[in-house]
């Protein structure tokens, strides 16, 4: 055997003895997968779920947006889009709480539950025991939280690329709105949920207002109590957003002497928006931001 060949064999044997090894080829397994939910729990998904029950309307819509509609075995009943999910059975009872009987019948592997229903680790564990499914708690109180939840949903359903695209589209929409309102004066804003009750400062509407270049004039208020007309007069909002069918209309505000002098009313900057827009926590949250921005800056072109 030629000397050169012997040297090649010797080097190969030496490399093997020094611990060199081939790297594995092919894609790594998608599961188990670990994601962190809105209350800080590390949620482990051992294997690909065959069924997912979503008690959060935004995440139900996100399931369809990332191509996981066929996995949806239950929904909240508060969804407004897409039409393709409207025939999925509702998993909340008349009082808005998880319907344990319906959930057990649906046999989900994973439950997506909003923090409003599952606020802590103990309640999450209790729901897991009752249904026999893994619980992922959804945030839903900020745009960035929605992006995180959609990204996690992509890992849970083995659709990471599709989920990253949806989250990326939201980021682009947010950037476009912020560029459009850049340089505009901050708009003092009041959100009327009905009878002058208003939003929590840590809620989705409050985050949308901030991103849209506004400030919540009632941020320091006790949201369990309705504001009086005199309090609103002192707060002097320049923009007034009413929940459609619940908050006061511009006509009603102008008719009342106590509210007619509020700047937003005098300037005709009173906008009615559906509750689903203000509390959107799914793929259309960027569009919701655009509508809020238009309410705050009616003379600015909002993409």
**Predicted local distance difference test score (pLDDT) of residue 23:** 42
Please give the structure tokens belonging to residue 288.
């919701």
Contacts of 69 (CB under 8 A, 6+ apart): 63, 84, 85
Which element (helix H / strand E) includes 207? helix 204-211
The candidate with the shortest Cα–Cα distance to 137, out of 147, 205, 129, 125, is 125
Q: Which domains does the chain have, with CATH numbers?
A: 33-158 (3.40.50.1980), 184-296 (3.40.50.1980)
Q: Do 152 and 132 touch, CB atoms closer than 8 A?
A: no
Give the tens place of pLDDT for each residue, 130-170: 999 999 999 989 999 999 999 999 999 999 999 999 999 99
The C-alpha atoms of residue 104 and residue 191 are separated, in whole angstroms, by 39
Give the tens place of pLDDT for each residue, 193-225: 999 999 999 999 999 999 999 999 999 999 999
Confidence band of 28 (pLDDT split at 50, 70, 90): low
Give the tens place of pLDDT for each residue, 34-91: 999 999 999 999 999 999 999 999 999 999 999 999 999 999 999 999 999 999 999 9
Q: Beta strand pairing status for 187-192 and 214-216?
A: parallel
Q: What is the DSSP string of 31-92?
A: -SEEEE-TTS-EEEE-S--S-EEE-SHHHHHHHHHTT-GGGEEEB-S---S-GGGTTSPB-B
The candidate with the shortest Cα–Cα distance to 226, out of 196, 199, 202, 266, is 196
For 159, counting Cβ atoms within 10 Å of its Cβ (0-12 exposed, 13-18 middle, 19+ buried), the class is buried
Under DSSP, is residue 242 helix (H, G, I), strand (E, B) or coil? strand
The C-alpha atoms of residue 187 and residue 162 are separated, in whole angstroms, by 36
Please give the structure tokens belonging to residue 302.
């909002």
Give the tens place of pLDDT for each residue, 216-268: 999 999 999 999 999 999 999 999 999 999 999 999 999 999 999 999 999 99
The C-alpha atoms of residue 61 and residue 85 are separated, in whole angstroms, by 8
């Amino acid at each position: 055997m030629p000397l050169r060949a012997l040297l090649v064999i010797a080097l190969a044997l030496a490399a093997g003895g020094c611990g060199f090894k081939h790297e594995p080829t092919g894609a790594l397994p998608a599961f188990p997968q670990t994601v962190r939910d809105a209350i800080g729990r590390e949620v482990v998904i051992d294997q690909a779920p065959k069924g997912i029950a979503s008690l959060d309307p935004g995440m139900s819509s996100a399931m369809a947006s990332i191509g996981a509609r066929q996995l949806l075995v239950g929904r909240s009943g508060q969804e407004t889009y897409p039409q393709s999910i409207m025939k999925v059975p509702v998993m909340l009872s008349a009082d808005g709480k998880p319907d344990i009987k319906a959930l057990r019948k649906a046999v989900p592997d994973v439950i997506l539950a909003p923090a409003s229903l599952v606020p802590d680790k103990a309640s999450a564990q209790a729901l897991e025991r009752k249904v026999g499914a893994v619980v992922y708690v959804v945030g839903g109180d900020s745009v960035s939280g929605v992006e995180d939840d959609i990204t996690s949903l992509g890992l849970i359903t083995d659709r990471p690329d599709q989920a990253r695209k949806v989250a990326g589209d939201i980021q682009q929409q947010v950037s476009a709105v912020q560029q459009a309102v850049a340089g505009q004066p901050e708009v003092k804003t009041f959100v009327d949920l009905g009878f002058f009750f208003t939003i929590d400062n840590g809620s989705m509407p409050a985050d949308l207002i901030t991103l849209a270049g506004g400030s919540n004039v009632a941020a320091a208020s006790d949201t369990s109590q309705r504001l009086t007309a005199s309090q609103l007069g002192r707060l002097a909002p320049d923009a007034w957003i009413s929940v459609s069918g619940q908050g006061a209309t511009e006509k009603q505000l102008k008719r009342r002497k106590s509210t007619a002098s509020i700047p937003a009313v005098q300037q005709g900057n009173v906008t009615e928006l559906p509750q689903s827009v203000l509390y959107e926590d799914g793929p259309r949250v960027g569009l919701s931001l655009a509508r809020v921005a238009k309410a705050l800056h009616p003379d600015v072109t909002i993409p």
